[in-house]
Amino acid sequence: MLRILMLCLLASPAWVFAAEAPAEVDGAMTINVYQARQLHALGAVFIDVRPRREWSWGHVEGAVHMNLAREFIGLSRTEWPRSVPLVVYCDSEVCPASAEAVRLAVQWGYQQVFYFREGYFAWMLADFPQEKDQIDDIATLNAQAH
């Protein structure tokens, strides 16, 4: 019975992809949930890099969904203003996707990149403003950037 349980745990996709995200990313500021809330109140652009399914379950109010593998690369385009404050998050400290997205944003020349390592789970636990199932698109990001 124990062998079957261990086999199930090791074969689970969550175990395959779960990894500790780095504590810091060069060129960006790591922020906690309270600092993220302050940036939210000031109008920073929040970018959620979680899979679409997780996004639909809930996300930071006003956040833009950009899947790291497909949509995030759009931020590399030169027409986006590099002075826009970006707050990038995933679900928690065990999601390295946000760290990779932050690294890319810094590499592309964004000047105010904030790494919200604690992510959506911390935001949700603090009972800060959230939304569910809102469809976003690149026009939403464009409106927030200008």
Q: What is the pTM of this model?
A: 0.79
pLDDT at 5 (0 to 100): 36
pLDDT at 4 (0 to 100): 42
When pLDDT is averaged across residues 122-142 and rounded to a whole number, the result is 77
pLDDT in tens, 39-70: 999 999 999 999 999 999 999 999 999 988 88
The mean pLDDT of the chain is 84
Question: What is the Cα–Cα distance from 1 to 10, expressed in whole angstroms?
Answer: 14
Q: Residue 15 above 50 pLDDT?
A: no
